[in-house]
Amino acid sequence: MSISAAFVDRYSASARRDWEPLVERYETKAGDALSQFEWVKDNTLAWVEHRAGSQQTLCHGDFHPENVLFTSDPLRKNVLIDWQYAGAGPGICDVAISLFPA
């Protein structure tokens, strides 16, 4: 499965949009690691091409609690909504977005 150009564009736009809030929130905690995140933000296509050799999966692209409809009914499952950014990509992207929301 190849990574779609649309996924690269959306991820790049998201990284640029969320960069300043990420720095403000995590600068003291992340320290020097922020330079690695900044490189990915500035070189998204190169990063994606590097990751293209790894396993790909269906990525939501905007995975955070506001896009999950939670239920307290144990017989009903939670529902993930807002799929317009979905595409093939490294699954770790959804994990990262959920851990470091803007």
User: Mind listing the pLDDT tens digit for each residue in 43-61?
Assistant: 888 877 776 677 778 888 8
Max intra-chain CA distance, the chain: 45
Separation of alpha carbons 16 and 53, rounded Å: 24
State the residue range of the domain holding 11.
5-99
Domain count, the chain: 1
Query: What pLDDT score was predicted for residue 101?
Result: 62
Q: How far apart are CA 80 and CA 67, in angstroms?
A: 6
What's the whole-model pTM score?
A: 0.51
d(CA 36, CA 32): 8
